[in-house]
Amino acid sequence: MFDLDKQTWTRLPDMPTPRGALAATVADGKIYVIGGAKIPANANIDALTGGSAVELLGTVEVFDTKTQTWATRRPMPTPRNHMDASHVDGKIYVIGGRVGSCFSGGWSTNIFMNEAYDIATDTWATRAPMPTPRSGTASGVIDGKISVLGGEGWLDDFGGVFRTHEIYDPKTNVWTRAARMSKPRHGFAAAVIGRKLYAVSGVNNAGGAGTLSVISDNEVYEP
């Protein structure tokens, strides 16, 4: 935990399930950590690599920032990694990601899955799929609508990076397209302040397509 006033870091209770390439979002002072990938329990390997054995997770673990304790919730129906999670009106929407591996470069497949977790009932439901299957995206919520930006994917031997910006409205269960980012990228950060969505940094060539090209671009979207 980073304290903004003191500018200090504090070690907190570890997450029960070690994993990477997961998604997280905040609701009512609790951090929901969803999905990801880890080394299978019976695999005789020290690290995950492209083409290696991997266990994809639907695991949902919740950290209560007040009590500083972890709890487990109903797992996500579609185990996956490199996706995004957004909280809107009591539900958490987990969108996109990849299956088959936690690496691109031809080892994994992008999916358009959109699954909604109802916090009050601890249940999952399938919602309208994202038009463009992507992973390594970033997202943000403005006016109750979820913007999903960028990402990467492979088709046969071709690896590409997206400028794509698609918006999901949970109330109507409908997707629309919006203004694209000026540069394609994946593995970047997004944050919403007021009614502005900021997209910061990232990589502008697909993983597995050679030396990664990291960029420092900072763009802002206003609806």
Residue 155 has pLDDT above 90, yes or no: no
Q: Which of the four pLDDT bands, split at 50, 70 and 90, describes residue 6? A: very high
Q: What is the mean pLDDT of residues 56-78?
A: 98
The whole-angstrom distance between residue 29's C-alpha and the CA centroid of its chain comes to 19
Number of neighbours of residue 101 by Cβ within 10 angstroms: 23
Q: What is the pLDDT of residue 154?
A: 84
Q: Identify any residues that bridge with 149 across adjacent strands, giving them in sequence order.
A: 138, 165
**Burial state string for 168-189 with b = 16 or more CB within 10 A and e = fewer than 16:** bebeeeebeeeeebeebbbbbe
Alpha-carbon separation of residue 191 from 18, 25, 29, 116, 223 (angstroms)? 25, 12, 18, 21, 14
Does domain 2-221 correspond to CATH entry 2.120.10.80?
Answer: yes
| Claim: this prediction has a pTM higher than 0.85 | yes
Q: What is the pLDDT of residue 41?
A: 92
Number of neighbours of residue 28 by Cβ within 10 angstroms: 10
Residues 17, 38: contact at Cβ < 8 Å?
yes
Alpha-carbon separation of residue 69 from 1, 15, 18 (angstroms)? 13, 9, 16
**Listing from the earlier edge strand, what are the strands of the sheet with 30-38?**
23-27, 30-38, 55-64, 69-73
All structural domains of the chain with their residue ranges: 2-221
What does the DSSP 8-state code read for residue 41?
A: T
Residues 122, 74: contact at Cβ < 8 Å?
yes
The whole-angstrom distance between residue 135's C-alpha and the CA centroid of its chain comes to 8
88: which residues sit within 8 A by CB, 6+ positions away?
A: 141, 144, 145, 146, 170
Residue 221 has pLDDT above 90, yes or no: yes
pLDDT in tens, 166-186: 999 999 999 999 999 999 999
Q: What is the mean pLDDT of residues 136-140?
A: 98
